[in-house]
Amino acid sequence: MIYPGLLSPLLTATGAGAENSTQAGKFIVEHPTLLNLGFEWEMRGDANRNATVAVEFHPVGESDWRAALPLVRVGGENVYRRRENLDYTVPEGFAGSILNLQPGTDYECRFHLTDPDGVSGQTAHTVRVTTRNEPQPSREGRKLHVYPPDYQAPRQEPSFTSLLQAYYGAGLGDWSVV
């Protein structure tokens, strides 16, 4: 005979009330950089923290997938800095990056969430993301020439003797009103 009064404390003590299976949530693509792509995947459950997210990628147009570092399991970490009045608890999920890519390149990235205790929701995502292009000077921009103070050869104008002088100008023209 099972006594209900004894069973409840036993289940709580063994962690039976914790949800070990994972409920997949929103998948987020961060703003890309020149060389890296960042991702977050919200989730609930996984109290025993044994869920994983495998990551693969390849440049668009290539057929061979390359393995990347898996997303890192995050959640519950407390960030507290009294000086900035910051008290923040990291939400449950996964986060990570695909590193050392080429600027201005389209990549196809796929993610697969697994948990030995079970997963519900969308367990796979494939996204296409482009790394940022290297910044280029404006074609309409001005060229300002900076020379050391003791430079004696011919100078191209407009010329300045320091970066600050080039930035702020000599107090004449449009630089003084900007």
The ranges assigned to domains in the chain are 19-130, 145-176
Pairing relationship of beta strands 145-146 and 159-160 according to DSSP bridges: parallel
Report whether 97 contacts 37 (CB < 8 A). yes
Q: Residue 16: its pLDDT value, please?
A: 52
pLDDT digits over 28-62, tens only?
999 999 999 999 999 999 999 999 999 999 999 99
The CATH superfamily of 19-130 is: Immunoglobulins (2.60.40.10)
- Mean pLDDT is lowest, of 56-60, 78-82, 87-91, for 78-82
* pTM for the model: 0.71
For 4, the 3-state DSSP assignment is helix
Q: In this model, does residue 97 exceed pLDDT 90?
A: yes
